[in-house]
Chain A
Amino acid sequence: MFAFFVRRLAQAALVMFVISVIAFSIQDNLGDPLREMVGQSVSEEERQALRDKMGLNDPFFVQYWRFLKNALQGDLGTSYFFKRPAVDVILDKLPATLELVFGASLIIIVFSVPIGVFAAINPRHWFSKFAMAVSTVGISIPVFLTAIMSIYIFSVELGWLPSFGRGETVEIFGGWTTGFLTWDGLVHLILPCIALSSIMLPLFIRLIRAEMLEVLESEYVKFAWAKGLSPKRVWFVHALKNTLLPVITVGGVQIGTLIAFTILTETVFQWPGMGFLFLEAVNRVDTPLIIAYLIVVGLIFVVTNTIVDLVYGLVNPTVKLARPHGGDG
């Protein structure tokens, strides 16, 4: 286990290094941050002086080295717009985004597993055909359209659910604000979570169905039937566990994509999260904030994938996380 962690940590460090280089090299191509920072009355000389003071005229490697040194101490620069450390600005918005992703993941897990399994067990049932048809449609509709349509139907026409914002939130341990503990917060979560899950849910239903169909045809499932086991045991003990192995892998990667997708959802619902913040930062050419966002999201990606690998090792006995003789696993 320890060896696995060390190896994984080295991999993660490498990935983060590459992300930081890419994120940092973007900054020269985003436009002039000074145009957004200072008024029209500021002369060109003053602008040059400001650039020198901020180090924007230094060579790339000098700038990157300075950035890296600070970054390793947890300082990703100061947001031009908020005049606060970029990391702090992002961390303020992190709970909103993570709760949105958590809610969407919950919807995906709760619905995709039963529906996918049912459709695999009863491929000819009307509900299976219906679910497959709807999921094809679901995959093809972009998130922002689902989001706008759901606002139109449930907020504008029916007036059941709020259309923007997080609603009432409460602060729990050390600055984490949550919308899960108030009725108002929960109501505000419903539409954004549904919209965010609308792409992944059909994907997972289809994935689980396809995997399960394949597993149900396998020899070991046939052997399980030959043992005279109950259908429940064959489906949920013998088949489901094998079905979920590849699903876990895909799921780990998709959680990262889900976090990236929040940009669209958060924009439509004016959700005060990281994605919305990122889009504003791009509009304001707030380079430190953009870089900090990319690095934080990259970090989340790396962390979730490591967790998924750990879970996979627990579920799949043929994967050994640590070999006694240091073999590569």
Chain B
Amino acid sequence: MRKEDLVALRDVSFTLDKGERLGIVGESGAGKSVAAFSILNLISKPGYISGGEIRFDGKDLTRLSLQEMSEIRGNRISMIFQDPMMTLNPVLTIGTQMTEALHAHQQISKEEARQRAIDSLAEVHIPSAATRIDQYPHELSGGMRQRVVIAIALITKPPLIIADEPTTALDVTIQAEIMDLLMELCNSSGVGLILITHDLGVISQMTERAIVMYAGRIVEEGDTKDIINNARHPYTHGLMGALPQKTTPGQRLNQIKGGMPPLNEIPKGCAFNPRCPLVDDICRTTRPDYTTMGSTRVACHKALSEES
């Protein structure tokens, strides 16, 4: 830690089993993306990892050299980014951008790599893959491009994929298609998934376990069905209540009042206290520890029990 550094993530600790699908949810600024990008040490400069451990297959990823990290990236852990319009390089063909991932990690001939790329495109349901492969990104629609990005992520058959809000930049009908595709591919190849989103609906459909983040901390963690059906933290509760489905048409949508605090103004005690409907004196002074309630782990003095 250097002086005047701002902390974006603190005490964020979670585990993921092989082939498990985990959702990370929270408002913008909660630290979801930073957490995900930290895993592959891809946080934008001047950000850096000041401490902690990220274990994958027994290796601590924070201690790897760039060379060793490159062997993990795209090979053992792949990423899918938010905006497919920006993720693909505009001056390289789809084929080049697919095969280079293979060439970086495997000894493979050009013809073989090309064939693998075509197969991969077909797997993500891109029609006439053999001609698409020689096209440039601008010749494809947004949904198509995200399919290509998913195909690139899967081409090396990694055991884990991190998807950072993979559908936020797409329109609603395409969103569902991409999520279905992702789900299908995860199921068929048994690949693990860390899915970052602010859509609780997506979390409930896609994941087995979920993490709720607020101001750089995990506030609640547990089985997705418990988080969705039986939220313990008032913040999770608020998020659930803010879903448009929960309100009758014509009524004002529910919201959690206020906004995510900036990193240099995180309140004392529980970071959520200024916005919390159940706030008490202790919330303003003492940071809550984690308590285990059923399958979930929650950091709240006023954690809601099942009756409430």
Chain A positions near chain B (C-beta within 8 angstroms) = 217-231, 233, 237-238, 241-242, 245, 315-318
Contacts and interface: CB of A to CB of B under 8 A. Distances in A.
A227 B91 contact: no
B81 A229 contact: no
Nearest to B72: A228
A221 B88 CA distance: 9
Give the 7 A-B CB pairs with smallest separation, nearest first: A228-B74, A228-B73, A227-B74, A219-B86, A317-B136, A226-B79, A220-B89
Contacts of B149: 223
Contacts of B90: 220, 242, 316-318
B6 interface: no
Contacts of A219: 81-83, 86-87
Nearest to A218: B86
Nearest to B87: A223
A220 B138 CA distance: 13
Contact of B44 (A217, A238, A315): A217
B100 A227 contact: yes
B78 interface: yes
A172 B236 CA distance: 82
26 contacts: A219-B86, A221-B89, A223-B81, A225-B42, A225-B73, A226-B40, A226-B73, A227-B73, A227-B101, A228-B70, A228-B71, A228-B73, A228-B101, A229-B70, A230-B70, A233-B100, A233-B104, A238-B92, A241-B91, A241-B92, A242-B89, A242-B90, A245-B91, A317-B90, A317-B91, A318-B138
Nearest to A238: B89
B153 to A, nearest CB: 9
Given A219-B86, A237-B92, A229 B78 contact: no
Contacts of A223: 79, 81, 87-89, 149
B36 to A, nearest CB: 11
Interface string B203-222: 00000000000000000000
B44 to A, nearest CB: 7
Q: Tell me the interface secondary structure of chain A in the complex.
A: helix
Interface residues of B, number: 32
Contact of A222 (B66, B81, B101, B105): B81
Nearest to B79: A226
Contacts of B100: 227, 229, 233, 237
B152 interface: yes
Interface string B252-267: 0000000000000000
Interface string B50-74: 0000000000000000100111111
A241 B79 CA distance: 23
Contacts of A222: 42, 44, 81
A235 to B, nearest CB: 13
A318 B86 CA distance: 14
B86 A220 contact: yes
A254 B42 CA distance: 38
Nearest to A226: B79
Nearest to A316: B91
For B44, B81, B93, the residue with the greatest tally of chain A CB atoms inside 10 Å of its CB is: B81
Contacts of B152: 227
Nearest to A242: B91
Interface string B28-50: 00000000000010101000000
A181 to B, nearest CB: 38
A141 B14 CA distance: 59
B224 interface: no
Interface string B94-114: 000000110011000000000
A229 B104 contact: yes
B167 interface: no
